[in-house]
Amino acid sequence: MTAVSADDVRKQYTYSQDDFERVRATVFKIAGIRLQDTKVTMVYSRLSRRLRALGIGSFRDYLGLVDKSETEQQEFVNALTTNLTSFFREPHHFAALEKYLRAHPKTTAIWCAASSTGEEPYSIAMTVAEVFGTFSPGIKIIASDIDSKVLATARQGIYKAQTLNKMPMERQKQFFYRGKGSHTGNVRVIDDVRKMVTFRQINLTDDNYGFNHNMDVIFCRNVMIYFDKPTQYKVLNNLVSHLNKDGLYIAGHSEHFTEANHLIRPVGKTIYAPVR
Ligand SMILES: C[S@@+](CC[C@H](N)C(=O)[O-])C[C@H]1O[C@@H](n2cnc3c(N)ncnc32)[C@H](O)[C@@H]1O
């Protein structure tokens, strides 16, 4: 078989500006994600995999299916989310978590609200285990995402060994199994740490997240950047309403909320406390 070039692939399925606009409107309606004009090619390449898998020849037919099928809507969202993450990403947030836990030893709940493939909530769990010296400290760690595929990866807790490259060896040894034989090159988060985290599917743009308790710390990092301002405000308002009054809201490095200073106030680098 001869290799298919990017140009050939581009011509493989009928894809018009109207189709792109329909994708944009649909992903905004479902997930609050605002796709910029520059994402035309990204949309083509991510969704053409679904067309290929389903044997559908045009974006128009595919989008008709998305309208009708909830299962395909989930696949559509999974294809369009950006899931970049890493262990102990933005380390200062984990130092702040450690400090918070030492000052609030009665902490009961931490929510990681866009957990992607799990590196972030497992980093939270490792920090908790290090601070309290136990894998059962009586703290609920809830991790959620809209994307069902990343949640499945997160639950498994299996990663490429190189994802640990920047992690001190002591942590690697304490919290990971090294794959052997056919698993060489992979690592797995140890069962004790995996059991500390409960994964759930939550769409942050929903009105109700279904919690019947409040959180002490909410990590909501690098997801607001995909929302427009009104959606950011709605989500922030909803998240902060789930935060205890002496709790922490931890945002991503480029997420600032200057227009929401009646909801949260900065207490550190992209770290906020609720205003009550
Ligand atoms: C770039 S990742 C950030 C991962 C992690 N928080 C971090 O900072 O490393 C963004 C995540 O937000 C999720 N996401 C996007 N829209 C969402 C929504 N409406 N509700 C919940 N999660 C959403 C995506 O599926 C993706 O996994």
pLDDT tens string 70-119: 999 999 999 999 999 999 999 999 999 999 999 999 999 999 999 999 99
- Give me the sign of the Cα torsion angle 237, 81, 195, 135: negative
What pLDDT sits at residue 258?
A: 84
Distance 31 CA to ligand 1 centre (A): 10
Ligand 1: residue whose CA is nearest its atom 16: 31
Domains in the chain: boundaries: 7-80, 91-274
- From residue 5, how far is each of 8, 9, 89 by CA, in Å? 5, 6, 35
- The whole-number average pLDDT for the span 175-203 is 97
* 33 Cβ inside 6 Å of ligand 1: yes
195/138 Cα distance (integer angstroms): 12
In the CATH hierarchy, which fold is given to the domain comprising 7-80? Chemotaxis Receptor Methyltransferase Cher; domain 1 (1.10.155)
Q: How confident is the model at residue 139 (pLDDT cuts 50, 70, 90)?
A: very high
Q: Which CATH architecture has domain 91-274?
A: 3-Layer(aba) Sandwich (3.40)
* 48 Cβ inside 6 Å of ligand 1: no
CB 154 within 8 A of CB 123: no
Read off the pLDDT of residues 2-24 as tens digits, 9 standing for 90 and up: 555 545 556 789 899 999 999 99
pTM of the model: 0.95
CB 116 within 8 A of CB 82: no
What pLDDT sits at residue 10?
A: 61
Read off the pLDDT of residues 246-269 as tens digits, 9 standing for 90 and up: 999 999 999 988 889 999 999 999
Query: Any idea which residues carry the catalytic annotation?
Result: 46, 145
Q: What are phi and psi of 76, to 5 degrees?
A: -60, -45
Domains 7-80 and 91-274 share a fold: no
The per-residue pLDDT of the chain, averaged, comes to: 95
Instruction: Give percent of the chain above pLDDT 90.
Output: 93
